[in-house]
A = this chain, B = another copy of it.
Amino acid sequence: MLSSVVIGSGNLAHHLVQAMLNANIDLKGIWARDTDKAFEMGQLFRVPVFNGLNQIPQETDLVLLAISDNAVEQVALNIQTHGIVAHCSGILPIQTLGDKRHCGVFWPVQTFSKNQKIDFKKVPVVVQATDEEDQRILEVFADLIAAQAIICKESQRQMLHLAAVFVNNFSNHLFALIKDLLQSNELPFDVLKPLIQETAHKIIEMDPALAQTGPAKRGDTISLNIHRNLLKDDAQLLKLYNILTESIQNKS
């Protein structure tokens, strides 16, 4: 039976602990800098809470750092274990973990929020390790709790992280900008929700290049001009509109 420890008390830590318990992994315990949150989590999941990083059992197979990027280096420095210490960041170099013998990356490619349930069995996990045996163990963990393991080199993982920023952060930002625009025109953002769902749904089976529609793709200058006119008092949105339109036309 594989054993693990989860460090952290944020959204990802919660999801990971739940997923470990679902997969019958021997979760030895948890630790978080915020003691109150750690004990809250311990009660919620009925798992032991360590008083300090030095209490982590030496023989734990995997110590997973589900903490913010800028805390990884310091926390890793204080962990002594014979097992693998892995961070959950898409972007941090593996070396951030220090000169440990067994280091790894275990990055779930998903966005986690407090009140959004995520089925971890549908989440792909990028794994990376310097040692082949370590990589295999991380793969087994990914197979047990997640959808699949994606084995990446460091530069590929960082490229995937960049890609995730485009499809998640940038799309979401467009939604936020448009919600503001509609509100100032007394229009409900709700009207667009089915369209947003379908846009995301479509590309499950369809190449996004083939799913591309709209005035930019069609070269429909009448629509483009009406849109630009509607945005004439909003320099920021107009700039985005023009650059994205141009980018679609360059790709066509």
Contacts and interface: CB of A to CB of B under 8 A. Distances in A.
Interface of A: 69, 91, 109-111, 113, 115-116, 118, 122-124, 126, 147, 150, 152, 155-156, 158-182, 185-188, 190-209, 211-217, 220, 222-223, 226-227, 230-231, 236, 239-241, 243-244, 247-248, 250-251
Given A213-B111, A227-B162, A231-B162, A168 B185 contact: no
A247 B236 contact: yes
A167 B196 contact: yes
Most chain B beta-carbon contacts within 10 A, residue among A110, A115, A247:
A247
A162 B122 contact: no
30 contacts: A69-B223, A91-B226, A110-B194, A116-B202, A123-B194, A150-B188, A156-B187, A159-B181, A162-B227, A163-B181, A163-B192, A164-B192, A164-B195, A167-B199, A168-B195, A168-B198, A169-B213, A169-B215, A169-B248, A171-B196, A171-B200, A172-B199, A172-B213, A173-B208, A173-B244, A176-B212, A179-B208, A197-B200, A199-B200, A240-B247
